[in-house]
Amino acid sequence: MAAAKKAVLGPLVGAVDQGTSSTRFLVFNSKTAELLSHHQVEIKQEFPREGWVEQDPKEILHSVYECIEKTCEKLGQLNIDISNIKAIGVSNQRETTVVWDKLTGEPLYNAVVWLDLRTQSTVESLSKRIPGNNNFVKSKTGLPLSTYFSAVKLRWLLDNVRKVQKAVEEDRALFGTVDSWLIWSLTGGASGGVHCTDVTNASRTMLFNIHSLEWDKELCEFFEIPMKILPNVRSSSEIYGLMKISHSLKAGALEGVPISGCLGDQSAALVGQMCFQDGQAKNTYGTGCFLLCNTGRKCVFSEHGLLTTVAYKLGRDKPVYYALEGSVAIAGAVIRWLRDNLGIIKTSEEIEKLAKEVGTSYGCYFVPAFSGLYAPYWEPSARGIICGLTQFTNKCHIAFAALEAVCFQTREILDAMNRDCGIPLSHLQVDGGMTNNKILMQLQADILYIPVVKPSMPETTALGAAMAAGAAEGVGVWSLEPEDLSAVTMERFEPQINAEESEIRYSTWKKAVMKSMGWVTTQSSESGDPSIFCSLPLGFFIVSSMVMLIGARYLSGMP
């Protein structure tokens, strides 16, 4: 027992990984990068109207407390002293928008999630005010005007929620993405909480100038956002404040531990995959799917539908690094949809078993454009379709088609990345919860026709946040020098089909994508009126498909 305890002594670093689907707290050994323990809690998503996606900020915060508490209990059972936790990093779902009362600590509305589409008419009216020859929003932020980013969500809250308007008038309102809400709450909340964000999260608001690394007055005026409610922008690796234990948290030993790392989840995964060199890239499979390529200290603007974003700034006096990003809205979310909405599976893990039974989609294609299409199309009028169905199709084929959809969407953003960078990637580094699905990983290698490389420890998002926290000035327990970074064991998936078959499948997918576009008008998406044909969540194709498959025998795979 003593030997086992000794093996894990030394500085430990915790990481809060607050994602769209779940919250986790993980603890790493800072010298070996070994994951020692973790706990995970699923987060509810609310869909009050068609296209609206919300979460309860208090539920998010309580899930963080629960994960910290349970992880500390598990460490105790392993005879690991939690007083060795020297720092905590935060990684979070980006863009999701929270406004709260700084005097009471109470949220003034639900968090408006990055997937939410309610702001489409706002986007359309704002886009008319941008001169065609001077897209100052894109040149300053690296982002297209889209429902995806925080500025338009905040504008909607200011226009439509009286509690938010009143709090702004009375100088009580604070805005932040999820990282800001968590850091403010964990460092004392209404009793002296620190209101800050980091450069990576700020770069996703559409209010932040990615060149000057400051909130931009012209952008705030354009979106009519009062600058007094915005958080202070800090680097991704510095001490923001110290943990103050809430009455909700029994793990008192974390009192006074510095919170010293903060990265948006995709930047955290880039750091956790150690993509520190210009041209290194990773793809994360979570609720959505996000391919980031480090472009070094220069902003590269895409000609093919990708975003320019801040990758990281690992210290107050360290240089900022940039990335090109391909964003796919729906990846793991399609599996959750098959589980929660159609009941085809009872657990997310079952999808692999179903897909394995048939080993093919049998000509069935699934375009899960639940929130329109993100990169490379940026087409908000798209909606999900399932097409190519016959009476032979059953739930196994649909499950396989759902996994293929994730891979085809990745192929589209990888193709765009290769065109922008000029040098095709020779392999793809991957991470995220879905990478545990071996069928998905093999499909991805087949569809990209390059090897897919997966670290044996897939929690790279949390690892990146822990690395940033442990490396912060004043903490200094984690070295980011190349010679000190731990070697990572990898699992490799090689393409197993011929290139011609891969291309045929991909071109058929592209046909399906074209058919998914143009389903929704602004009026139908904003009204949420279920009688409007084109605003059905999956459009016409799934309705007609289900007529064909209505007998439970087909959906259940019976003959």
- List C-alpha distances in Å: 202 to 24, 210, 240, 291: 22, 9, 15, 19
DSSP structure string for 483-529: GGSPP--EEEE---S-HHHHHHHHHHHHHHHHHHTT---HHHHHH--
Please indicate whether the domains covering 12-271 and 283-288+328-516 agree at the CATH topology level. yes
Sorted by sequence, the CB contacts under 8 Å of residue 110 that are 6+ apart come out as 46, 54, 55, 56, 57
Which residue, 239, 244, 146, is CA-closest to 189? Answer: 244
Do 416 and 302 meet the contact criterion of CB atoms below 8 Å apart? yes
Question: How far, in Å, CA of 98 to CA of 315, rounded?
Answer: 26
Question: How far, in Å, CA of 324 to CA of 408, rounded?
Answer: 19
- List C-alpha distances in Å: 458 to 78, 148, 349, 405, 436: 22, 26, 16, 21, 8
The dihedral over CA atoms of 452, 453, 458, 463, expressed in degrees to the nearest 10, equals: -120
Its pTM stands at: 0.84
- List C-alpha distances in Å: 67 to 111, 389, 486: 20, 43, 26
For 283-288+328-516, which CATH class? alpha beta
* Strand-strand pairing, 214-215 and 208-209: antiparallel
Residue 216, φ and ψ in degrees, nearest 5: -105, 120
Do 49 and 60 meet the contact criterion of CB atoms below 8 Å apart? no
Which residue, 447, 328, 337, is CA-closest to 399? Answer: 337
For residue 249, the model assigns a pLDDT of 54
Is the domain spanning 12-271 CATH 3.90.550.10? The answer is: no
Q: What is the largest CA-CA distance in the chain?
A: 69
Give the three-class secondary structure for 52. coil
Listed by start position, the domains of the chain span 12-271, 283-288+328-516
For residue 280, the model assigns a pLDDT of 86
In 314-398, DSSP assigns E strands to 321-328, 365-367, 385-387
For residue 499, the model assigns a pLDDT of 79
Per residue of the chain (559 residues), give pLDDT as tens. 444 444 446 799 999 999 998 999 999 998 888 899 999 999 999 999 988 999 999 999 999 999 999 999 999 899 988 889 999 999 999 999 999 999 999 999 999 999 898 998 888 888 888 876 668 889 999 998 889 999 999 999 999 999 999 999 999 999 999 999 999 999 999 999 999 999 999 999 999 999 999 999 999 999 999 999 999 999 999 999 999 976 555 546 688 999 999 999 999 999 998 889 888 889 999 888 899 999 999 898 888 889 999 999 999 999 999 999 998 888 888 888 999 888 888 887 888 888 888 888 888 999 999 888 888 888 888 999 999 999 998 989 999 999 999 999 999 999 998 888 777 888 889 988 888 889 999 999 999 988 999 988 878 999 999 999 999 999 988 988 877 776 667 788 999 888 788 888 899 989 999 999 988 765 444 444 333 333 334 443 444 444 344 344 444 444 4
